[in-house]
Amino acid sequence: MKKSVREHIKNKTILITGGTGSFGNTVIEKLLSLEPARIVIFSRDEKKQFDMRNYYNSRLLRFIIGDVRDGASVSEAMDGVDFVFHAAALKQVPSCEFFPIEAVKTNVLGTQNVLDSAIAADVSRVVILSTDKAAYPINAMGMTKAIMEKVMVAAARKLSESGNKHTVFCGVRYGNVLYSRGSVLPFFIEQVKKNNTLPVTNPSMTRFLLPLPEAVDLVLYALVNGENGHLYVRKSRACTVGVLVEAVCRIFSHAKGYREVGIRAGEKYHETLLTCEELARVVDRGSYFDIPPESQGLEYNRYFLDGERKLESMKEAYTSENTPRAKVEEVVRILSGLSEIQDELIQIQKK
């Protein structure tokens, strides 16, 4: 019988890299209810750590200033840790387009530092957080996240080859998380408050919809069920950007509507959660997809010379264009259920 999430977490020490971000703030609420021994927040933003420390005021939280680019600071934070959620990353597409080497340093080399330190510290499990932009990537952010996934799979393969059965490396991949830091919803609502017309790249573009609590559930699922080198994807609804912005206008009674400004550099028209190559080997786990690695061992002849998939087994990629698409009414319902949206409505009503 498999352990529950609580049984996994109780009396364990969890490290969250980039822990002051949207994911960190949401997962902490969940983790604190599961009776961990300690939650270590590792990030480079002292102001956000200060705010988080004051907000939670919990003896279970420990804050460490550091950067995943610095292997020494990661190793120090890893001492005594049982589980790691690796959320530290450069995530904004335009920033990574202008500074791609910086994205490499954080998203790729930083991940390698985390995995190396986890092995040295005898950590039990590491779950890396990836993005739909890593599937068929066209921008620097997606490319570095795709390499991050490959770094995890390669490190997991080495663990298997070395006979290390104590440590497991796995990951999750998900689409746009609603109301996460840097996402479009906080920007739209800021424009609503200023009574501005909402700027929209292209209303026909599609995006996956994932509330933060569902992203947390996916990560916890990977923590409990994750196998070495596997990636886990939550099945998600999607909608057009036009439907999303119309839902925002309805919720906030915003009469000025929106205007189209054009697609930004590095943006995809539709997002992909599973490539057709991955779908050829994916395992359906109900609410989740399980993507096993293509090769578990260092058997180079099998990897380079022998094929397993047949062309006719290839399926259409799982994208925000071909997944079930939500209408405006459903998106209004989803957004209205977000605590952040409810808080914004309360604040607006008070004015």
Residue 337 in contact with residue 192, Cβ under 8 Å? no
Cβ-proximal residues to 34 (8 Å cutoff; 6+ apart), any chain: 5, 6, 9, 10
Cβ-proximal residues to 172 (8 Å cutoff; 6+ apart), any chain: 127, 128, 129, 130, 215, 218, 219, 222, 231, 232, 233, 234
Determine what percent of the chain falls in helix, strand and coil, rounding each to the nearest 5: 45, 20, 35
Residue 185 in contact with residue 198, Cβ under 8 Å? no
Distance CA 256, CA 33 (A): 42
Distance CA 324, CA 328 (A): 13
Residue type, 323: T
Provide the 3-class DSSP secondary structure of residue 138: coil
Residue 156 in contact with residue 111, Cβ under 8 Å? no
Which residues are the active-site residues? Answer: 133
For every residue of 177-245, DSSP letters joined together read EET-TTSHHHHHHHHHHTTPPEEES-TT-EEEEEEHHHHHHHHHHHHHH--TT-EEEE--EEEEHHHHH
Distance CA 21, CA 160 (A): 32
How far is C-alpha 74 from the geometric centre of its chain's CA atoms?
Answer: 20
